[in-house]
């Protein structure tokens, strides 16, 4: 898969620059709908997600986006937070564990509509109790990096920038943030107060990355290059990592090397990184072959080595710090 070429092709299918619109997935009737706790909202173009700190005792806690949002908006710390999610209808990876059906990340107009950021915010506001987070998800939102500053402008125009936290995902595959945004838009993203981005490492080494995404293993290294550039920006950055792998041979060393590579980007980045437990949601079930089934089991071996690596490298005081207060070198 040529990620560069497919990313540009997809970008052209999911953003309309002249009309300032984005192709947003409609979840009604999709396989993803079966996994939702609440029916899709915003006429099918959105969903309410409950982010929970504790899901499985055998995994690590997930403080994202809970802690950064509570700090940013001055809310009391909590273990669950609701977010309004919108999904861009394109992604350049094909992770077997993706909880979104591939038909909703192919830039296909059949399952999506063209909506402006203003229309998305109107849909968001038109509900009894809008959550305090808007999560720009996908798909890969950074195929259309304009989405973030466009939303920021719309929230500010409605005086919602102090009340609503903007959160966005990034699969670390494209440099469109620098390629397509104007200096002014990048400056806005860098200076906007209530915004954070979470970047997802799709594996802990080249092999697990390729196994997970079906992309060439060289793009695993590219994830680090893009993260290095992002860390130089003034964005509040976090990372996710997925540990599914079809082989546990040498896994202790591989996880250790992964932590080395994160720490090479920033000594504290491992503490801003949250491993994500992969769960077989409905769209995943059809993709579950023997290797994927094993990979779901293997992630539990990997997480134990991850926990040990952090304990070796950081004091318990640092490990227990709230994630948004972990300092990064350049911020
Ligand atoms: S990068 Fe995210 S949206 Fe894209 S296929 Fe992988 S899990 Fe799905």
* 8-53 pLDDT tens trace: 999 999 999 999 999 999 999 998 999 998 999 999 999 999 999 9
pLDDT, tens digit (0-9, with 9 covering 90-100), for 62-111: 999 999 999 999 999 999 999 999 999 999 999 999 999 999 999 999 99
Ligand 1: residue of 7, 85, 106, 138 to mutate (most ligand atoms within 8 A of CB) is 138
Output the pLDDT for position 330: 61
Ligand 1: residue of 24, 87, 88, 98 to mutate (most ligand atoms within 8 A of CB) is 98
Q: Whose CA is nearest to atom 8 of ligand 1?
A: 98
Average pLDDT over residues 297-304: 98
Q: Biggest alpha carbon distance in the chain? A: 54
Give distance in angstroms: CA of 146 to centre of ligand 1.
Answer: 19
Give distance in angstroms: CA of 189 to centre of ligand 1.
Answer: 23
Name the DSSP letter for residue 33.
G
Distance set, CA 260 to CA 105, 150, 270, 274, 310 (Å):
32, 36, 9, 15, 11
Give distance in angstroms: CA of 18 to centre of ligand 1.
Answer: 27
Give distance in angstroms: CA of 242 to centre of ligand 1.
Answer: 11
**pTM score:** 0.96
Give distance in angstroms: CA of 315 to centre of ligand 1.
Answer: 33
User: How far is it, in rounded angstroms, from Cα 219 to Cα 92?
Assistant: 12
Output the pLDDT for position 283: 86
Ligand 1: residue of 90, 95, 215 to mutate (most ligand atoms within 8 A of CB) is 95
Average pLDDT over residues 127-144: 97
For ligand 1, what atom is nearest to the CA of residue 213?
Answer: 6
In the sheet that holds 46-52, the strands lie side by side as: 46-52, 80-87, 133-137, 165-170, 195-201, 236-242, 273-276
Helix, strand, coil share (%) of the chain residues, nearest 5: 45, 20, 40
User: How far is it, in rounded angstroms, from Cα 227 to Cα 224?
Assistant: 5
- CA atoms within a 13 Å half-sphere pointing along the CA-CB vector of 298: 23
Ligand 1: residue of 25, 93, 287 to mutate (most ligand atoms within 8 A of CB) is 93
- CA atoms within a 13 Å half-sphere pointing along the CA-CB vector of 205: 16
For ligand 1, what atom is nearest to the CA of residue 138?
Answer: 3
Q: Which residues pair with 136 in a beta bridge?
A: 86, 168
- CA atoms within a 13 Å half-sphere pointing along the CA-CB vector of 308: 13
Give distance in angstroms: CA of 139 to centre of ligand 1.
Answer: 6
Output the pLDDT for position 115: 98
The answer on pLDDT for 331 being more than 60 is no
For ligand 1, residues with CB inside 6 Å are: 91, 93-95, 98, 100, 105, 138-140, 171
Q: State both tokens at 274.
A: 């949250």
3-state secondary structure of 55: coil
**Proportion of the chain above pLDDT 70, given as a percent:** 99
CATH numbers and ranges of domains, the chain? 3-325 (3.20.20.70)
The answer on pLDDT for 282 being more than 90 is no
Give distance in angstroms: CA of 90 to centre of ligand 1.
Answer: 9
Give distance in angstroms: CA of 24 to centre of ligand 1.
Answer: 15
Query: CB under 8 Å to 320, separation ≥6 — which residues?
Result: none
Give distance in angstroms: CA of 102 to centre of ligand 1.
Answer: 9
Q: State both tokens at 78.
A: 């909590």
Query: CB under 8 Å to 33, separation ≥6 — which residues?
Result: 27, 39, 40
pLDDT, tens digit (0-9, with 9 covering 90-100), for 155-185: 999 999 999 999 999 999 999 999 999 999 9
Average pLDDT over residues 281-288: 88
pLDDT, tens digit (0-9, with 9 covering 90-100), for 183-239: 999 999 999 999 999 999 999 999 999 999 999 999 999 999 999 999 999 999 999
């Amino acid at each position: 898969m040529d990620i560069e070429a497919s990313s540009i092709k997809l970008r052209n299918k999911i953003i309309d620059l002249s009309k300032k619109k984005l192709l947003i997935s409609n979840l009604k009737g999709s396989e993803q709908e079966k996994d939702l706790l609440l029916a899709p909202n915003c006429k099918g173009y959105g969903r309410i997600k409950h982010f929970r700190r504790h899901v499985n005792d055998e995994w690590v806690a997930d403080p994202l986006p809970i802690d950064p949002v509570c700090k940013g908006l001055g809310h009391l710390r909590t273990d669950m937070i609701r977010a309004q999610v919108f999904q861009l209808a394109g992604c350049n990876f094909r992770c077997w564990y993706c909880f979104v059906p591939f038909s909703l990340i192919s830039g296909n107009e059949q399952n999506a509509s063209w909506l402006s950021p203003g229309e998305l915010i109107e849909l968001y506001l038109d509900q009894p109790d809008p959550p305090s987070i808007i999560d720009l998800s996908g798909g890969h939102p950074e195929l259309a990096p304009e989405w973030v500053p466009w939303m920021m402008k719309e929230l500010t125009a409605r005086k919602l920038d102090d009340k609503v936290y903007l959160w966005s995902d990034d699969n670390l595959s494209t440099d469109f943030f620098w390629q397509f945004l104007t200096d002014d838009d990048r400056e806005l993203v860098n200076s906007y107060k209530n915004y954070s981005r979470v970047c997802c490492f799709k594996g802990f080494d080249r092999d697990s990355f390729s196994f997970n995404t079906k992309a060439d293993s060289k793009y695993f290294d590219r994830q680090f290059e893009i993260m290095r550039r992002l860390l130089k920006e003034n964005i509040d950055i976090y990372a996710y990592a997925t540990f599914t792998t079809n082989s546990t041979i040498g896994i202790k060393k591989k996880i250790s090397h992964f932590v080395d590579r994160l720490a090479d980007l920033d000594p504290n980045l491992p503490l801003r990184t949250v491993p994500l437990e992969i769960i077989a949601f409905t769209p995943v079930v059809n993709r579950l072959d023997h290797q994927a089934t094993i990979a779901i089991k293997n992630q539990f071996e990997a997480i134990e080595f991850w926990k040990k690596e952090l304990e070796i490298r950081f004091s318990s005081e640092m490990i227990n710090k709230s994630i948004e207060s972990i300092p990064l070198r350049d911020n």
